[in-house]
Chains A and B, each alone.
Chain A
Amino acid sequence: MTRELSGALDYRTARACHECDLLQQIPDLKNGEIARCQRCGALLKRVHKNSLDRSLAFAITGLILFLVANLFPLISLKALGIAQHGNLISATIALFDADMPFLGMLMLFTTILFPLFSLLGTIYVLLNIRMGRLTPAIAPLFRFLRSTDAWGMLEIFLLALIVAAVKLVDLTEVITGISLYAFILLIITLATLSLTLNPDDVWDHLRKPKS
């Protein structure tokens, strides 16, 4: 895909690599194709059909699963006749109670607030684009969602839950809770959502009316 760039570069379809700044023309991509930087290999662009509609469906599914995952315990322990139930929010509360407000905040933001806000925000953005209402809030909101994407850490929490269960299984009886299944489905849904949602498609909608 190397071409003579300096002469006939069309700035409307050209892109600068965000990792090495090289300007390059992006060829017309077919569905499912991706373009990589010819110099450093960074992902420049990908194309998915109906990315926004499918993402909206996944985001709504994710929101429902997130609510269900918060309703019931994920995991329970039984020892000495006492049962301890652990919800998604339990770790946050426990860390605040243990005088670790910084860790409590970290837990609150990475496992509750960022994931919830990300789902709500994504639904808001996609719904409005679908209905053709380009409100001024969309661009800053979507920018915020993109820049906080790495701070929602539910999939890491699931792995931590498994590690914790293994550490406890010798000491007490570990019982999986009802919400655990919703939580696992939530992780799968979120992973699918991040693969499906192509940010370029959102920005393209914001670009259209101006040019």
Chain B
Amino acid sequence: MMTAREAGLISCHFCHNLNRLPSGQLPSEQDKAELTCYVCGSVIHSRIPQSLSKTWALVIAAMILYIPANVLPIMTVVMWGDGRPDNIMSGVMSLLHADMWPLALIVFLASIVIPIAKLLTLLGLLISVHFRSTWRPRERTQLYRATEFIGRWSMIDIFVIGILVALVQFGNAATVTPGMGALSFAAVVILTMIAAHTFDPRLIWDAIEESPNV
């Protein structure tokens, strides 16, 4: 069992070509000089440079924005001059009252469960890597994979707002305007998507290779 880094190789993220490190260069020196893949020309690195600090910054920013995303209205429905602000949870409740529980469940998962689960997962991964945990690396990698895959579905609420704002324009009778909550929520989704991208799952396994027990 040997990793590419131990063998002095860098795998290209895009074309999976194994690039040999220039002779005399130590794996730790990589991020000083920019190396490119000889097949596809992509910039390569053994580990994503500053993966942890970048991911921490993005996760913290997302956690802060998560508060206004849930407190501020995501949209306001104005009917005959009477404005009713909606937040994320009330959007789910209105679907539930319309007896549309499968859709209510999807929106509940996409808008509430997935963002929270994603933030907690990223936080947990960051902390476990920080403390060089050797606990269940395979499961942690799978958790990371699921997070990366599913996160974009949280965008559904933003799209619903966009569609409602576009369609419900009936002068005095009914209009829908987007609220600052929608802006914050969109930022949370984007930031966590980028955070999942900057986190390098190989860091989970580096702790295993470096631990003396293996």
Contacts and interface: CB of A to CB of B under 8 A. Distances in A.
Interface residue tally of chain A, by bracket? Answer: 35 or more
Interface string B75-108: 0000000000000000000110010100100110
Interface in B96-150: 98, 100, 103, 106-107, 137-138, 141-142, 144-145
Contacts of B100: 166
Interface string B157-186: 111111111111111011001100011001
Nearest to B41: A139
B186 A106 contact: yes
Interface in B1-41: 1-5, 7, 9, 11, 13-18, 20, 38-41
A157 B103 contact: no
Given A5-B2, A103-B182, A91 B142 contact: no
B53 to A, nearest CB: 20
A19 B4 CA distance: 12
Given A16-B18, A39-B1, A203-B14, A84 B186 contact: no
A163 to B, nearest CB: 5
Contacts of A206: 15, 39-40
A95 interface: yes
A91 B156 CA distance: 13
Contacts of A166: 95, 98, 100, 103
A167 interface: yes
Contacts of B66: none
A20 B209 CA distance: 11
22 contacts: A15-B18, A19-B144, A19-B201, A21-B11, A22-B2, A40-B141, A42-B145, A84-B169, A90-B163, A91-B166, A93-B166, A94-B166, A95-B165, A107-B158, A107-B159, A139-B42, A143-B40, A150-B193, A156-B153, A157-B159, A207-B17, A210-B38
Query: Which 8 residue pairs of A and B lie closest in terms of their CB atoms, listed nearest first?
Result: A91-B162, A160-B159, A16-B4, A16-B11, A94-B166, A203-B15, A90-B166, A21-B3
Given A102-B183, A156-B156, 5 more contacts: A18-B16, A20-B204, A45-B16, A98-B178, A139-B42
